[in-house]
Amino acid sequence: MKYDPLRNHVGGALVDADLPTLDVYDPSHGTVISRVPLSGAREVDAAVQCARAAFPAWSALPIKERVQVFFRYKALLERDVDTLAALVSEENGKIESEARAEILKAAELCEFACSLPQIATGELLEVSRGVECRVERFSLGVVASIAPFNFPNMVPHWTIPNAIALGNCMILKPSELVPLSANRTAELLLEAGLPAGVFQVVHGGRDAVEAICDHPDIAAVSFVGSTATAKVVYRRATSNLKRCLALGGAKNHLIVMPDADREMAASNIVASMSGCAGQRCMAASVMVAVRDVDPVIARMVEVARAMVPGRDIGPVISAAALERIVRYVDEAEAAGATVLVDGRGVKVPGKEGGYFIGPTIIDHVTPDMRIAREEVFGPVLAIVRATSLDEAIAVENASPYGNAASVYTESGAVARRVFERASTGMVGVNVGVPVPREPFSFGGWYESRFGVGDITGKGSIEFWTQSKKLTTKWNRAAGVNWMS
């Protein structure tokens, strides 16, 4: 095994515990590289007690002092970008450029946290003569962040910098499939000067998550993962009277109009469906082709066929994921869809044990097929044909998910209609992965997000703080003798 069995990182140190473990795989080779402990209620409680002890001193620091940690931490991410990216590649399978981009995005998220003293300010107004109302933001206490496998480094950074800069102490429960990056995050935060106990990593799966949702001293839970788990976590955390923001899965539609720029649309759509092996909640999943866009599709086929698995596209996370994705393609083909580019059965020389599937494009998919309705989470694009823009929008609207939708067109009127009518929280115009960059917030609608607010940017300030309102009345005549 390349790495020692992992331990939880609590109170500023690795802690030993006699726990059952799970093997951690390198998806590029299908080999075991470490083991992750499966924590339960006892381990979660130990982390909570450390966080509670650290909270009074940390939250009492002025925010301008707290963010100094993230100025230093951002520099450490940039210093270590190569090794951090290599770790992400190893545990998740991402190709190097994608893993690097993930670390640099984590650094950008710290940049936003560093600006919080300028943004997360209070409010003050003289509401009547001598009476002023003032609102200030206070931290919540101990909070938790539960993460998925697809961005081992970046998604935890959606929550860590903002929650901690706003004065909270955090427990991170990373995905048990990709647990290595989280411990490195804990070490670098300590190196940046974060006091021990402000951030802890508790490893595990379902038991650890349930213990987080149940713990009376955890005030807020943020979750990112599949819709099925998001529902479980949201229900359990809120039934225990916690605030909860739970981001779920996605089924993103890209509408391509006949006036789309052929080259831009083709390369953009293939990059969206195949980047990170399609394991992005913002990945293109269904392309709705309006009337004749065959030249765009022909170019997409060329671009996708030119991609080399192992060099331009990494593996998916596990053997089970690969099997599931292939099943979706097999089923669609059996139901009459046309596989234009077939990534099934690829082997990468030197990585024969890896879980690879090349970019796969399937035409003439009908909206009732499973591949058009369910989240596939692999490098697979289903093309559904439509005869009008409104029919295309109706196909998109039928999805219960609401993360992202995009349109490829040169018409402002068409773009505006899609923006107004798409049933998603994020919309792209000629952009395949329409992730809003900070200070704008990331967040979908409907089955892609449970709870109120967004997870990043300005929208996250409300989630990680509570407001206190002060009403003050001054007797304007008091002290008048000394004034002049």
Instruction: Give the residue numbers marked as catalytic.
Output: 281
Peptide bond into 152 cis (omega under 30): no
Q: Which two tokens mark 444?
A: 């979908």
Least distance from C-beta 63 to ligand NAD, angstroms? 26
Q: Is 396 helix (H, G, I), strand (E, B) or coil?
A: helix
Least distance from C-beta 305 to ligand NAD, angstroms? 26
> Which amino acid, residue 184?
R
Residue whose CB is less far from ligand NAD, 95 or 209: 209
Query: Do the Cβ atoms of 328 and 370 come closer than 8 Å?
Result: yes
Least distance from C-beta 301 to ligand NAD, angstroms? 26
Give yes or no for residue 232 binding ligand NAD (CB under 6 A).
Answer: yes
Q: What does the alpha-carbon distance between residue 316 and residue 318 come to, in Å, rounded to a whole number?
A: 6
Give yes or no for residue 403 binding ligand NAD (CB under 6 A).
Answer: yes
Residue whose CB is less far from ligand NAD, 40 or 167: 40
Least distance from C-beta 260 to ligand NAD, angstroms? 26
Rg (CA), the chain: 24
Give yes or no for residue 444 binding ligand NAD (CB under 6 A).
Answer: yes
Closest-CB residue for ligand NAD?
225
Residue whose CB is less far from ligand NAD, 55 or 401: 401
Least distance from C-beta 386 to ligand NAD, angstroms? 24
Give yes or no for residue 176 binding ligand NAD (CB under 6 A).
Answer: yes
Give yes or no for residue 244 binding ligand NAD (CB under 6 A).
Answer: no
Give yes or no for residue 55 binding ligand NAD (CB under 6 A).
Answer: no
> Which amino acid, residue 154?
M
Which ranges of 172-226 does DSSP label H, i.e. alpha helix? 180-191, 206-214
Q: Is 181 helix (H, G, I), strand (E, B) or coil?
A: helix
140 to 159: interface string for ligand NAD, x by CB under 6 A: ------xxxxx----x----
190 to 209: interface string for ligand NAD, x by CB under 6 A: ---------------xx--x
In this chain, which of 27, 37, 225, 310 binds ligand NAD, going by CB under 6 A? 225
Place of tokens 């609608």: 445
Least distance from C-beta 450 to ligand NAD, angstroms? 10
Least distance from C-beta 209 to ligand NAD, angstroms? 3
Taken as a whole, the chain contains a residue count of 484
Query: Do the Cβ atoms of 172 and 202 come closer than 8 Å?
Result: yes
Query: Do the Cβ atoms of 163 and 157 come closer than 8 Å?
Result: no
Q: Which two tokens mark 79?
A: 């210093």
Q: Is 3 helix (H, G, I), strand (E, B) or coil?
A: coil
Q: Which of 403, 406, 436 is nearest to 224 (CA)?
A: 403
Residue whose CB is less far from ligand NAD, 148 or 343: 148
Residue whose CB is less far from ligand NAD, 69 or 224: 224
Give yes or no for residue 453 binding ligand NAD (CB under 6 A).
Answer: no
Give yes or no for residue 375 binding ligand NAD (CB under 6 A).
Answer: yes
Region of 6-14, 172-180, 182-190, 289-297 interacting with ligand NAD (CB under 6 A) = 172-180
> Which amino acid, residue 465?
T
Torsion angle (degrees, nearest 10) of CA 272, 282, 429, 381 = 40
Least distance from C-beta 313 to ligand NAD, angstroms? 18
Give yes or no for residue 226 binding ligand NAD (CB under 6 A).
Answer: yes
Q: What does the alpha-carbon distance between residue 105 and residue 153 come to, in Å, rounded to a whole number?
A: 9
Backbone angles phi, psi at 291, to 5 degrees: 55, -135
Q: What does the alpha-carbon distance between residue 253 and residue 283 come to, in Å, rounded to a whole number?
A: 9
Region of 51-59, 70-78, 220-228, 291-299 interacting with ligand NAD (CB under 6 A) = 220-228
Give yes or no for residue 377 binding ligand NAD (CB under 6 A).
Answer: yes
The site that binds ligand NAD (CB under 6 A) totals a number of residues, namely: 27
Query: Do the Cβ atoms of 309 and 344 come closer than 8 Å?
Result: no
Classify residue 339 by burial, with Cβ atoms within 10 Å: 0-12, 13-18, 19+: middle
Residue whose CB is less far from ligand NAD, 183 or 403: 403
Give yes or no for residue 229 binding ligand NAD (CB under 6 A).
Answer: yes
Cross-strand partners of 106: none
Give yes or no for residue 328 binding ligand NAD (CB under 6 A).
Answer: no
For the chain, report the end-to-end CA distance as a whole number of angstroms.
80
Give yes or no for residue 424 binding ligand NAD (CB under 6 A).
Answer: no
Give yes or no for residue 224 binding ligand NAD (CB under 6 A).
Answer: yes
291 to 310: interface string for ligand NAD, x by CB under 6 A: --------------------
Q: Which of 199, 194, 200, 192 is nearest to 74 (CA)?
A: 192
Q: Which residues bind ligand NAD (CB under 6 A)?
A: 146-150, 155, 173, 175-176, 205-206, 209, 224-226, 229, 232, 247-250, 281, 375, 377, 403, 444, 448
